[in-house]
Each structure stands twice: as C-alpha cells, then as structure tokens.
Amino acid sequence: MLQQWWLNKKLKRLINNNKLGKPEHLQTHYQYLLTNLNQPISKTDLLALDIEMTGLNPKKDQMVSIGVIPIINGQIQPKFAQHKFIKIQGSVGQSAVIHGVLDKDLNNALTQQEALEWLFEQCQHKVLVAHHAQLDLQFLQQSLRKIGLQPLPLFAIDTLLIDKRRQFRKHQFLNTGSLRLNACRERYNLPIYNAHNALTDALACAELLLAQLNKMGGLETITLAKLLESH
Amino acid sequence: MDNSELQPIFDFMRRLAPFDSLQEQTLKQCCKVLTIAYYSQQQKLVHVDSNDPQLYIVRSGAFEVSTQEGELIDRIGEGQYFGFSGMLSGEKVVNQVHILEDGLVYHLPAVMFDQLRANCHSFDRFFNQAFAKRLRNQGSLKHNHISTARITNIMSRELTTITRDATIHQAALLMSEKRLSSLIVVNEDKLCGILTDRDLRNRVLAKGLTGALLVEQAMTEHPTTIKPEALIFEAMLKMSEKNIHHLPVVKGNKPIAIITSTDLIRSQSSQPLLLIGQIDRQNNLESLIQVSQKIPDLLFNLISSDAKAMEIGRVLTSVTDSLTRRLIALRQEQLGPAPMTFCWLAFGSQGRQDQMAGSDQDNALILEREATKVEKDYFKQLSEYVCSALNECGFPFCPGNIMAQNPKWQLTLQQWLQAFSKWIKTPDPSALLNATIFFDMRPVFGDLSLFKQLQTTVLKNTKNNDIFIAALSQNALQSTPPLGFFRSFVLERDGSEVKGIDLKHKGNALINDIVRIYALSVGIEEVNTIKRIEALIALSAIDKDIAMNLLDSWEFIAHKRLTNQGQQFNNTQPVSNYILPDSLSSLVRHQLKDAFKVIHEAQGTVKHKFLRQF
C-alpha cells in the first residue's frame, strides 16, 4: 500500500512538473505507468530491456547496444524484438570480449540522442523490465545528461531484485553470483542460453520475469505497483 | 546474422523435426511470429482456446494430454508438441492439457502452421494424422537388392500360349518362329500345362511319335507356378528344388508370363541363394554349423541394403527352412527312410516367415499313425539330431519346449486334431495363451497332405466360431502398445515410465495377434501376417484403412527392429529387440508413436468386433 501511494505521488508530481524539459514520449510513459499502477501485470504491456556497455561505471563507460522485446498479454513477442547499436567515443576496447560488439559494428550506429529517442518511443505505452535494472537506468540517465537534459527519474521492474527478495524471504544465504541472470534462470529450470548479446539477454530477462510472476501467484494477481522500482 | 533475430529460439527450433527440414529463411520467419509463454504448475491446466488454435511447442517443462474422461493420451516434454490435432481436423479440442512441471512454451499461430503445411511437404506429412502416408514413404525399398527384387521386374511383357487341342507340329512351328524354349498351354484362358523343348524331345521324338500328336498328350500338366509378387529369389529356390527351368507366372488362374532359368541367371546370382546352395552341398554337421555362421552376415547385408523388413524375414526363413531340410536329409542318410509318412512343421516366426536375428526354433511332427516303440525311437533320433543341430547353427532351443524332439509334440494327425479341437472348442484363455503359436503353422518337410488335412479341419473349426475367437481376442488384448516417449523413457498407457521397449513383443507381436484373430475368424490359410492382411482385404473381412495402417505399422516397427539390430551388430553388442528411446531421432519417435496408436486403435476394433465390448 505504501509503495503504491508513494509511486502514485511521485509519478503525479513528475507528470505535472513542466520545468523538467521532459521528452514528449517520456511524459506519455509516465502517464502509462500511473494509470496502470493498480492493474494486474497481465493487463500491462511490458518491454524487457538489456544494454551492453563498455564497462560498469555509468560516469566513465558508454552504451554500445540496446535490445528490447515486448511482453503483451503475458506473452513474449519475438516479432517486435529490436536491437540497436550506439555510436561511442573511442573504441570498445577490451569490453568486446564481454558483449561481442566490435568497432566496425558501430559504423552505422545511432547517436546517443537517436538511441534515447528511439527507446522512449518504444516504451511510451510499456513498462521497462531489466535484470539489475539500476545499472541500465543509470546509464540511460547519464546519457540524458550528456545530451543536455535533466537526468529524470526512471522506473523499471527488476528481475534481480525480485529474486533477491524471494531468496531473503526464504532466509537463504546469497552467494556471489547467485543473482546473475543465468543463475536465477537455473532456479526456475529455464534453459541456459550461451549466445550473449543485448537481445538474447532481454529475452532471457523476459522469460525469467514470467517464471517469477508465476511462482509469486500468477500474472492476474500481482499489480504493477508491487513490482515497480524507481531510480 | 541480423541482430534483431533471437539466436536461442532459432538454435532450438532448427534441431526440431519437422522444423529442421525447413529452409533457413522460412525457419527464421517462424521464430519471429511465435510467442512465448510460461506455464506454472499452480495453474494446473493450459487454457487451449479452440477459437484461436495454435501449435504449442514445449521449450521446457512437462505436460500431459488427457481426454475429458481422464484417459492419458500423451506426456509431452522438451521438443514435443500439442494442440495441433484441432488445426488438422478443424474440430474443437476437448482434450485437457495438464501442467506437470513449470516450463516455457512457444506458440506458433495457426496461420503460420497452415502456411508451412501448404508449402512444405515434409512438414505437412509430419503433422498429418493420415499417418499411413508418412510411414509408407519411410519403408520404401530404396535399393533393388537381388534377394528382394520381384518377379515382375524381370518377367517379359509378352506371353505366347497354345491351346491343348493344337498339334505338336503347330506348337513346334510357333516355338521356332518365336524362338521360345517353352509354351504355356491354356484352356479357355486358364493355365492347364506347359510344353518345353525337353517334352518334345523326351515325350515325342524319343518315343517315335509324330507331330500329329496333340499338345495335351505331351505337355506337363499342372506345372509348378509362381505369383507375380514373388521374389526373384523365391523363383530361383523353386526351380532348384524341383529341378525345372521354366516357371509360369500366374495371377489367379490366368497365366501372365513365364520365367526361365536364363532370366534368373541374367538377373545375377544372389547371396542368399549362394548360402542355400552351400547348405544343400554340406555333408556333415560341422560344415553346416560353419556355413550357418554366415547367416548373421547375410541378415546384416540385407539390413544395410535397406530391404523391406517383411522381405528380409522371408529370405531369412527360407534359409532356416533349407537348413532344417538338409539336417533331416543328413540324419535320414544314417537312419534310413522313415517308417511312415510324416510332416515337419514350423510354428511361430518360422511359420509366419518373419524370422529375424535371435529367433528361436518352434517345430513339431505330424505322424501318419500311432508309432510302435521302434518307430518312436526313429523319430526320437531324427528330431533330437535336427533340433540340437539347429541350436548349434544359431537357432536356440525353444524355452517353452515346443519342439519336434519333445514327445509331446510328435503327434499323429488324429492327436493333432484332438489337441486343436480342445483349444478351439473349450477355449480356456490361459491354456490358449500358450497355444496361439500353433495357429501360425507351416509345413517345412515331408508329407504335405498330412498338413493340409490338419489345416483344413482347424480352419473349418475356427471360422465363425464366436466363442473361440472371443477367447483369442481376450488374450490378444492383454498386452498393449506404449503411448509414446517422454524424455528418455517409454511412456506406458497407465502413465508409468520404463527405460526401453521391446519392439517385438510390444509392436510386431501385437499386430500378429490382431491379424491372426481376423484370419482365423474367416478361415484364411495364410500364416504370414502381411499375406493374411492382404487376404483379409481381398475378402473384405477387415476395414481397409485399418488393414493398410496395420501393414504400414508392422513394416515400420519391424524395420526399426532390424536397423536397431544392425547397429547392435556393428557395435558388436548382443543383438536384441530392445530399443532405448535416447537412440531415436525425434522424427522416428513421432512415427513409432503413430504406429503404436494404430495398434491401439486396431485393438479397440477387435474388442468391439469380437468381444462385443466398447
């Protein structure tokens, strides 16, 4: 209840504040979140997201690719999956080992601004989902700053936090690495994917969320307000 | 790879039959239009919307399909499907899908499913329930292996005949004009004899007769004939057994061609025939045992040539028959001729001519009359020699002791008639259980008329004998085929999971049982399951669809048994009928499942038709 009241207030304030220089699509996004706060997740459209970066520090490192895949009516929709590369300054360097994106892949990539506009357009009527959402959202906020906008609050469902809470509730000791995407998936008997890119990870995250929601009592019974995190 | 494609979905789908047969571009489209859902055990049932049908592809987890009444239809795991029957039949789905284990399921929309079926033949065939089409493609004879090639392939199109009331002079003119070594003699289109060069020489010229003699006075009446669907190899065997060089090919009563030894030589000599020739030439047991060691090689050559299973069975049984005959002859050389006429019978797989690797021997004797003590001793010495020699040649003793060396099965014709009469007239299902094997009997050596009398009486008594047929049916329905496969297990009808499957006892034997019931109920003489089915179709004594499906299923399962044995042989493992699900591709699993389904349905029909039960 408290969480819902607080989210409600925060979103309203955001929507009504005209001094923030909000991109238009983001305004629509906030409104969608507000109207769906009390709705069950099954009635809410979601957008699973994963961002590949050159490193883990939002201040220093840069985004190189974004993958998104929507969940509509409780089902993942590969048809609307999308993947974009983002231009960076300098080279991907050693990080290519992790995300597999090479400098030559970025030749025709979007600029940071284009990438943000594209992403906000995608999530006008959707709720973001990510594994360890905090990191992804911090990178997005940093990008907002880089293109001269305010680092606005962003909201997402975080599959990592969902599992962390579930594990704590079961009084289970958390090992390092036990909340990584594949480790979480294994607990739900989900197949392990070896291919590693932004889109595959977005898919893996979407599947994990569906498994988690089912374990928590089903998509019909859980409201958005219970899951949404603010950053 | 385009980065908006989802590699894990594509990787999974391209390993799945029948999606593995799609073009890469088509498969990518498939991966794009499917949607992914997660089903949790807490929901208990998958809500299948019959207004919005789709193919459910299980990515992980486990599901169970059952009828509304709760009868288990299938258990489904990773890489298997449900929900397509409605799309194929257009009927509303009433089956229930239970969630056994949480899992991810891909949904392929009906539009795409239909499009794939329309554009890709193998895709359609995979899902099409008209399964016969699917299997018939599989078992087809790919190589024209000599031992399994048919008479029809080598017989000439043109047939020259002469009537029986023509003169020898006219016949000789015709033969020299057409450069023939023989003529078929007909009476109103029906075969009545054969006239050969040798007849002209021996029966006319040598006897100082003239060309005015009538054909019917010099011809051989009622010649040995062969059917057009016979194997070339069988024609060879017939000629060498009877020492003849011409075989009229007969369809019904009508001659349609003639096969000569030259035709056969031209089609090359064959391995089984060489083996049988060798068997016939051996003069002692040791060398026969040595020759018999080549039988497995023959079998596995036939398997690798991808011959039809039923034909391999016939070839192999012919070898066993020759071996049996040669052993009897060898022993009779020592013991002298038999004190009375007798007939050596084969039962079971040798009787049905569907022997495969590891078949044991089932045989017995019909004696003309009650034997004296001395005569009994003769048959004891004969049969013990032959049975133990067969054992040493690789045909193990019958565990049930149904063997000619067992005094219990050295019976006079009268005693055989009594034994059968007891099984038929007061059928006690448990006694009958061990006796069914006797109803697949075939003479191998000796006096045919003894066998004929026995068979005729037996069939007369089984025909339309509702009580006996019901008892036989009851026995046949004791054992059921599995439902299919679940992960690395075989799924039985009661839901239990077992490690492997005996394809003989849970497959071919069940079909043999079903077909035997039909055959005995209408008094068909054939004992080979395939020939029984063909005879039943000809008499319209069985639903044609069921019959065709049984034919296909029999061949498919037998073929799988053989290829499995071929692999075991190559890996120098002991050869058996046992197969592990892990060794089967997903396509073969589906096909075997369909074959089991055919058996299950045929058993249902037997229950309905002969037990009046539903």
Alpha-carbon span A207 to A192, nearest angstrom: 11
Cα of B119 to nearest chain A Cα, Å: 21
**Could you tell me which chain B residue has the CA closest to the CA of A188?**
B102
Are residue B262 and residue B286 in the same domain, yes or no? no
Are residue B176 and residue B221 in the same domain, yes or no? yes
> Which residues in chain B have their CB less than 8 angstroms from residue A191's CB?
8, 12, 59-60, 104
Of B31, B43, B59, the CB nearest to A78: B31
Of B6, B32, B60, the CB nearest to A199: B6
Per residue in B186-200, pLDDT (tens digit) is 988 889 999 988 888
Instruction: Give domain status of residue B206, yes or no.
Output: yes
CB contact under 8 A, B59 and A215: no
pLDDT at site B134: 34
Instruction: Give domain status of residue B1, yes or no.
Output: no
pLDDT at site A171: 65
User: Where is B442: in which H helix or E strand?
Assistant: strand B442-446
Alpha-carbon span B394 to B406, nearest angstrom: 19
Q: Does A195 touch chain B (CB under 8 A)?
A: yes
Nearest-10 Cα torsion for B104, B110, B115, B117: 80
> Which residues in chain A have their CB less than 8 angstroms from residue B9's CB?
78, 203
Are residue B163 and residue B292 in the same domain, yes or no? no
Last residue of a domain, one of B218, B240, B266: B266
Give the strand order in the sheet containing B484-486: B484-486, B489-491, B497-498
> Which residues in chain B have their CB less than 8 angstroms from residue A215's CB?
40, 102
CB contact under 8 A, A218 and B11: no
With pLDDT > 90 as the criterion, what percentage of chain B qualifies? 43
Per residue in B550-560, pLDDT (tens digit) is 999 999 999 88
Residue of B1, B4, B33, B52 best to disrupt the A interface, most CBs of A under 10 A: B4
Q: What is the mean pLDDT of residues B544-548?
A: 91
How many C-beta atoms surround the C-beta of residue B242 within 10 A? 11
- Is the predicted pLDDT of residue B42 greater than 80, yes or no? yes
More confident residue, B510 or B144: B510
> Which residues in chain A have their CB less than 8 angstroms from residue B38's CB?
207, 210-211, 213-214
Instruction: Give domain status of residue B464, yes or no.
Output: no
pLDDT at site B303: 76
Per residue in B240-254, pLDDT (tens digit) is 777 788 889 988 888
- Is the predicted pLDDT of residue B350 greater than 90, yes or no? yes
Is the Cα dihedral A201, A203, A206, A207 positive or negative?
negative
3-state secondary structure of B496: coil
Alpha-carbon span B614 to B609, nearest angstrom: 9
Is this complex scored with an ipTM above 0.85? yes
Alpha-carbon span B373 to B366, nearest angstrom: 17
Q: Does A218 touch chain B (CB under 8 A)?
A: yes
The length of chain A is 231
- Is the predicted pLDDT of residue A170 greater than 80, yes or no? no
Instruction: Give domain status of residue B312, yes or no.
Output: yes
Query: Residue B82: pLDDT band by 50, 70, 90 thresholds?
Result: confident
Instruction: Give domain status of residue B456, yes or no.
Output: no
Per residue in A201-217, pLDDT (tens digit) is 999 999 999 999 998 88
Instruction: Give domain status of residue B480, yes or no.
Output: yes
Contacts of B475 (CB under 8 A, 6+ apart): B429, B432, B433, B436, B513
Are residue B232 and residue B338 in the same domain, yes or no? no
CB contact under 8 A, B42 and A197: no
Q: What is the mean pLDDT of residues A8-13?
A: 92
What's the domain count of chain B?
4
Question: What CATH number is associated with residue B200?
Answer: 3.10.580.10
Are residue B494 and residue B589 in the same domain, yes or no? yes
Helices (H), A37-174: 96-99, 112-122, 133-146, 159-169
Radius of gyration over every alpha carbon of chain B, rounded to an integer in angstroms: 29
Query: Residue B268: pLDDT band by 50, 70, 90 thresholds?
Result: very low
Cα of A34 to nearest chain B Cα, Å: 26
The tokens of A129 are what?
């989902």
CB contact under 8 A, B32 and A78: yes
Residues of B at the A interface, defined by Cβ within 8 angstroms: 3-9, 11-12, 31-40, 42-43, 59-61, 101-104, 107
Cα of B104 to nearest chain A Cα, Å: 8
3-state secondary structure of A128: strand
Q: Which CATH fold would you assign to the domain A2-230?
A: Nucleotidyltransferase; domain 5 (3.30.420)
Partners of residue B177 on adjacent β-strands: none
Question: What CATH number is associated with residue B474?
Answer: 1.20.120
Are residue B182 and residue B228 in the same domain, yes or no? yes
- Is the predicted pLDDT of residue B154 greater than 80, yes or no? no
For residue B170, give its domain range. 150-266
What amino acid occupies position B300? F
Cα of B40 to nearest chain A Cα, Å: 6
3-state secondary structure of A207: helix
Alpha-carbon span B47 to B553, nearest angstrom: 33
CB contact under 8 A, A193 and B3: no
- Is the predicted pLDDT of residue B137 greater than 70, yes or no? no
Partners of residue B156 on adjacent β-strands: none
* B192 and B185 Cβ atoms separated by less than 8 Å: yes
**Could you tell me which chain B residue has the CA closest to the CA of A207?**
B38
Per residue in B572-600, pLDDT (tens digit) is 778 888 888 888 887 788 888 889 999 99
> Which of these ranges, A45-59, B364-378, B495-509, has the smallest mean pLDDT?
B495-509
Question: What CATH number is associated with residue B349?
Answer: 3.30.460.10
Cα of B55 to nearest chain A Cα, Å: 15
pLDDT at site A37: 93
Instruction: Give domain status of residue B461, yes or no.
Output: no
Instruction: Give domain status of residue B2, yes or no.
Output: no
> Which residues in chain A have their CB less than 8 angstroms from residue B100's CB?
none
- Is the predicted pLDDT of residue B133 greater than 60, yes or no? no
Are residue B75 and residue B171 in the same domain, yes or no? no
Cα of B584 to nearest chain A Cα, Å: 22
Residue of A50, A76, A213 best to disrupt the B interface, most CBs of B under 10 A: A76
Residue of A71, A108, A199 best to disrupt the B interface, most CBs of B under 10 A: A199
Question: What CATH number is associated with residue B25?
Answer: 2.60.120.10
Residue of B1, B2, B5, B6 best to disrupt the A interface, most CBs of A under 10 A: B6
CB contact under 8 A, A199 and B4: yes
With pLDDT > 70 as the criterion, what percentage of chain B qualifies? 92
> Which residues in chain B have their CB less than 8 angstroms from residue A197's CB?
3, 7
Per residue in B379-406, pLDDT (tens digit) is 999 999 999 999 999 999 998 899 999 9
CA distances from B549 to B73, B139, B599, B601 (A): 19, 13, 9, 10
CB contact under 8 A, A214 and B39: yes
Query: Residue B90: pLDDT band by 50, 70, 90 thresholds?
Result: low
Alpha-carbon span B176 to B180, nearest angstrom: 6
Are residue B433 and residue B380 in the same domain, yes or no? yes
CB contact under 8 A, A189 and B6: no
Per residue in B462-496, pLDDT (tens digit) is 999 999 999 999 999 999 999 888 877 888 888 78
Of A81, A210, A217, the CB nearest to B6: A81
